[in-house]
Amino acid sequence: MGPAADPAEDPQFEIGEPAPAHVPGECAYSAALYGMTGNASSTPIGPVTTDATGIDICLSLDARDNLVVAHFAAGTTYESAASSSFELALYDANGMLMRDGWDVSFGSNPTTTFANLEYGITKGQIIDAVLWVRAKRGTATSTVNLHLFEPYE
């Protein structure tokens, strides 16, 4: 599995409106991910049910043994829809936005979509972060799959 394209530079990605302002609070879930496990299998969280207020997932992202970079990815369950029911945003331990997520859609009749967020962690770093997962409207339920791996192994 190679590194994912940067959505800001790749026209195949469609980036929506940035997530509304959020101040990370108490975490509903937490996960510690190590970037050199030797595979890119996911760590599933949930299923989680959330509304427009959202939930926080506390993360410890460990890239201390990575060769080049640790690639973090978070994604919701696939939906048969043109737009995901969810928005994702990644914050650092101080509450500063690191990156907004985006929808990834493929296929037609029906179109399949999921909320996605990807971020590179510099080798040697261990960072604490918060993933904010929120429903775009109403309430929605999904498993959130988390990955941290070395894409150059």
Q: Where are the domains of the chain?
A: 29-149
Element (H, E) at 86: strand 86-92
Average pLDDT, the chain: 88
What's the rounded mean pLDDT across residues 32-59? 92
pLDDT at 23: 81
29-149 is a CATH 2.130.10.10 domain = no
What's the rounded mean pLDDT across residues 96-121? 95
What's the rounded mean pLDDT across residues 60-84? 96
pLDDT at 18: 56
Report the alpha-carbon distance of residue 46 to residue 69 in Å, rounded.
Answer: 27
Q: Is it the case that residue 121 has pLDDT exceeding 80?
A: yes
Which residues face 33 on adjacent strands? Answer: 61
